[in-house]
Amino acid sequence: MNLAKFSVHRPIFTTMVALIVIILGGISLVRLPIDLLPDITYPTISVRTTYENASPQEMEELVT
């Protein structure tokens, strides 16, 4: 007996199975942990340079 024939002959069973699947899906969706703003760490790099007697503007233009 194929699935379509079984579903036609036993509509109450088919409806109950569909409702159980829908209810379990809803429960699973509610219990699913969803984080709207997850903690993300971006890679960073820090460069430290020294240039004697230079202003910050000169340092920015000449070194970096």
Instruction: Write the pLDDT tens digit of every residue in 29-63.
Output: 999 888 777 788 889 988 787 878 888 888 888 76
The predicted pLDDT at position 64 comes to 58
Judge contact between 47 and 59, C-beta under 8 A: no
Q: Which tops the pLDDT comparison, 27 or 61?
A: 27
Domain that holds residue 30: 3-62
Q: How far is CA 22 from the centre of its chain?
A: 23
The label of the residue with tokens 């430290």 reads 48
- The total of structural domains in the chain comes to 1
Where does the pLDDT of residue 17 fall: very low under 50, low under 70, confident under 90, or very high at 90 and above?
very high
